[in-house]
Structure 1
């Protein structure tokens, strides 16, 4: 199974959160000179950071990556010669909608050109 860009970004963010949590724990240790409090700070800051990170990753996965996979599937179908594979464009007002619309226009243009070639009009 391929790793998605989202997974790679997520691993980088996890690494950064771990380094940040260690920094907080070391700071707490130097301020309090208590190992127990610094371990609590390490665990607490890691948990407090990971909860929103997991939530954001889920949202990005559901919204952005899902739409990109729809466009990718359409590209695969058209590249294999299936010019009838229509992509459903969601009205979201973002760049992903623009990408899907552009691809759909390209698919229709290719289909029109292929039909004209078959009829001998070109």
Structure 2
């Protein structure tokens, strides 16, 4: 398997930026990893906060333990400002992942041609 394919697979399935680390492009790999992980941490933090809020309402007796009541609360869209930041984080996450795979393959192809 050539370096381009290995780098793209590492970036796609292990960690965005991992393919760049494999190709010894540490600055780019670090940037992609940090952007992706920061976006992921933000999205997970929002999901956990929403789950804790709903579970606290159940514990306090404000909500019955009934799926038909809980499901609409889980699936309702967040407030406007929170939705904006969540969308930005989601776009940053997906874009950095996609760019990481494509760029790792491109740099690997250049390295393969040099050999």
What is the TM-score with the length of structure 2 in the denominator?
A: 0.37
What is the TM-score with the length of structure 1 in the denominator?
A: 0.36
Higher Rg of the two aligned structures? 1
Bigger relative contact order, structure 1 or 2 (CA pairs below 8 A, ≥6 apart): 2
